[in-house]
């Protein structure tokens, strides 16, 4: 229906569109064999357009050391796509400075669109995502559907604008537009951008930029960031150009939305000031007359304290498998980031306290008794690493789970965080799904800790002999008596847990099925006592040769299972070979030469569960035996 309405408007030539030289240049860029020289030559025939393009190119490419002095330089530096879209934008601005819709403020529309364009450019640079030139064009054309409706239906749209400005605001502008015209300005923006050949992600961004939650984009990927940067740029432009009272009401939501995207308050304020300053210069370049607005820093300073409260910024729910509520201490010096995380965690049912640095957090521990601490790395007075070390130094606080937030997922930094005592880490901006997964594991661990603590308190009332007996029974249920390794039951449970964690996090998982070669001959020749000694010696060799994070289990008879979290197939094969060689080199009872055969399996998409992983490892163990034993088969 939307497409039909658009085609109808397009057929009647009732929409804003490039004219004259701009149309000629756009048509040229659509030719597959067009050259830079042809485009430059066409632009040069319009001196006014040439001058504006060179000025825009110098501003957008300000990071270049050499200034752009010619149209040829501009086309080569920006690329045909950017030049085409800049010409399109300039043509639309030039051709739509006024119109027949009496209630539509054309100058204010372009003023806001220009502010939105500059904000989008600067915010994407602040996130170091690149493509700032493209974001400028997207911001400038992001609300072109409003101009389209005002142009196509000047009388009708004037009435709609009057209705929208009425006191009763239960009905939105888009609701009124869809009722009257069969499509709203966001849908029309998408169709117009598609018609002009702009990328699909731009079309999705303009369609959903007023309410990003309606898109089905995956949180954290580049397209999601483009959409949300456009959303924040749009809200920023509206806030800056609103009346003072309305502006202050919008400030809090704005800085919270920016923080969710990874633009902390200080950085966002700096980018906001830069945007306002550039907007003043760009307004002259585009010939747009606008009232002056203060710097964003001044807007923040003037905002009344009563307006600074937690507001809904459309944060998603944190999906978790358990509903065990945690006491969480947030340690973060950025005010907006703190509030965003507090909203996410509070929505999930947790009790949240906040501290602005490690020193303040340490004073809160005894009273609040957090079960989880989420701390930023960079903070004044005491940073996150120093804070972790202080926690682990105190015996009373060593069991508190700690997540350290860092700006980049750097292996050296991750190692440093774990060395300091961190339980896990998060990258900023914090992805709600990742946070939910981390919390799910922590909830289960804390819940288990709390349950064990309760059990221990109850057991203290029971006689020491009964408590000791119960403890031995529990240990026997999970441990093989002969080798003192985890038994098959424990192995199955642990493997299922590691499988679930690997499924959620995408981390690798491998396992090894190990069998002692010709073990029956040892029993038959030397007796079961010697056989038991051989089993214990092989178990010791396997345990001492495995990595710290690996679990070595006795699976039954002369079979052992080694579970290797975070091990790729090639790594697991190397570990297995090391185990096999160490067992062969180890001394045994009566100086017997004992060897093992190993089957290695790693988690791949065709394996649907942990049982299939075990079956594959067992199959490869059988192959190792068929190949003559004392070898490893991993594929």
Cβ burial, residue 524 (10 Å; 0-12/13-18/19+): exposed
The residues near 483 (Cβ < 8 Å, ≥ 6 apart) are 535, 536, 539, 554
Write b or e for each residue in 189-226: b if 16 or more Cβ atoms lie within 10 A of its Cβ, otherwise e.
bbbbbbebebeebbbbbbbbbbebeebebeeeeeebbb
Q: Which residues pair with 551 in a beta bridge?
A: 563
Rounded to whole angstroms, how far apart are CA atoms 427 and 183? Answer: 40
What is the CB-side half-sphere exposure of residue 214 using CA atoms within 13 A?
10
Q: Is residue 316 classed as helix, strand or coil in its secondary structure?
A: coil
Q: Is residue 177 classed as helix, strand or coil in its secondary structure?
A: helix
Q: Tell which phi-psi region holds residue 488, choosing left (phi > 0), alpha (psi between -120 and 50) or beta.
A: alpha
**228 cis-preceded (ω within 30 degrees of 0):** no
Active site residue 558: yes
- Active-site option among 270, 278, 558, 626: 558
- 254 is written with which tokens? 């704005």
Q: Tell which phi-psi region holds residue 317, choosing left (phi > 0), alpha (psi between -120 and 50) or beta.
A: beta
Q: How far apart are the first and last CA of the chain?
A: 54
Question: Is residue 417 a contact partner of residue 406, using CB atoms and an 8 Å limit?
Answer: yes
Determine how many CB atoms are found less than 10 A away from the CB of residue 634: 21
Q: Which residues pair with 180 in a beta bridge?
A: none
Supply the residues annotated as catalytic. Answer: 558
């Amino acid at each position: 229906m939307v497409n039909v309405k658009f085609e109808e408007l397009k057929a009647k030539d009732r929409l804003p569109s490039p004219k004259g030289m701009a149309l000629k240049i756009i048509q040229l860029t659509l030719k597959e064999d067009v050259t830079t020289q042809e485009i430059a030559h066409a632009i040069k025939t319009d001196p006014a357009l040439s001058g504006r393009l060179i000025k825009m190119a110098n501003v957008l490419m300000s990071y270049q050391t050499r200034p752009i002095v010619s149209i040829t330089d501009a086309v080569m530096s920006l690329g045909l796509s950017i030049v085409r879209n800049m010409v399109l934008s300039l043509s639309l601005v030039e051709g739509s400075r006024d119109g027949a819709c009496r209630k539509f403020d054309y100058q204010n529309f372009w003023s806001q669109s220009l502010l939105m364009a500059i904000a989008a450019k600067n915010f994407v640079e602040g996130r170091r995502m690149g493509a700032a030139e493209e974001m400028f064009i997207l911001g400038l054309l992001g609300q072109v559907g409003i101009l389209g409706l005002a142009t196509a239906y000047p009388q009708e749209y004037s009435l709609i604008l009057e209705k929208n400005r009425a006191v009763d605001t239960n009905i939105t502008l888009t609701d009124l537009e869809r009722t009257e015209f069969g499509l709203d300005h966001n849908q029309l923006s998408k169709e117009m951008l598609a018609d002009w050949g702009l990328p699909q992600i731009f079309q999705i961004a303009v369609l959903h930029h007023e309410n990003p939650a309606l898109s089905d984009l995956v949180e954290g990927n580049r397209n999601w960031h483009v959409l949300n940067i456009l959303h924040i740029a749009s809200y920023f432009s509206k806030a800056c150009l609103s009346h003072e009272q309305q502006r202050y009401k919008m400030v809090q939501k704005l800085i919270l939305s920016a923080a969710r995207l990874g633009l902390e308050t200080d950085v966002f304020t700096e980018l906001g000031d830069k945007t306002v300053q550039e907007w003043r210069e760009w307004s002259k370049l585009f010939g747009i007359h606008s009232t002056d607005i203060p710097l964003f820093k001044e807007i923040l300073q003037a905002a009344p304290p009563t307006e600074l409260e937690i507001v809904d910024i459309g944060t998603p729910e944190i999906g978790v498998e358990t509903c065990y509520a945690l006491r969480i201490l947030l340690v973060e010096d950025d005010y907006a980031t703190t509030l965003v995380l507090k909203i996410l965690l509070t929505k999930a049912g947790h009790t949240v306290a906040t501290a602005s640095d490690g020193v303040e957090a340490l004073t809160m521990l005894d009273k609040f008794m957090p079960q989880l601490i989420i701390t930023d790395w960079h903070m004044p007075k005491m940073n996150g690493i120093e804070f972790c070390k202080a926690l682990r130094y105190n015996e009373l606080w060593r069991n508190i789970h700690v997540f350290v937030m860092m700006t980049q997922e750097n292996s050296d930094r991750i190692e440093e965080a774990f060395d300091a005592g961190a339980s896990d880490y998060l990258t900023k901006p914090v992805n709600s799904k990742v946070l939910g997964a981390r919390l799910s594991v922590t909830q289960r661990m804390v819940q288990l800790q709390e349950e064990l603590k309760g059990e221990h308190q109850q057991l203290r009332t029971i006689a020491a002999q009964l408590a000791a007996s119960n403890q031995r029974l529990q240990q026997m249920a999970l441990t093989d008596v002969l080798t003192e390794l985890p038994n098959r039951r424990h192995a199955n449970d642990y493997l299922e847990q590691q499988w679930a964690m690997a499924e959620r996090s995408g981390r690798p998982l491998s396992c090894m099925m190990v069998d002692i070669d010709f073990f029956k001959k040892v029993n038959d020749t030397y007796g079961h006592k010697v056989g038991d000694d051989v089993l214990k010696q092989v178990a010791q060799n396997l345990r001492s040769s495995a990595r710290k994070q690996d679990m070595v289990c006795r699976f039954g008879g002369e079979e052992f299972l080694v579970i290797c979290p975070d091990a790729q197939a090639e790594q697991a094969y190397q570990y297995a070979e090391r185990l096999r060689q160490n067992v062969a080199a180890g001394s045994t009872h009566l100086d017997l030469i004992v060897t093992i055969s190993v089957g290695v399996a790693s988690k791949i998409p065709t394996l649907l569960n942990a049982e299939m992983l075990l079956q594959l490892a067992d199959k490869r163990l059988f192959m190792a035996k068929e190949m003559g034993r004392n070898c490893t088969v991993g594929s």
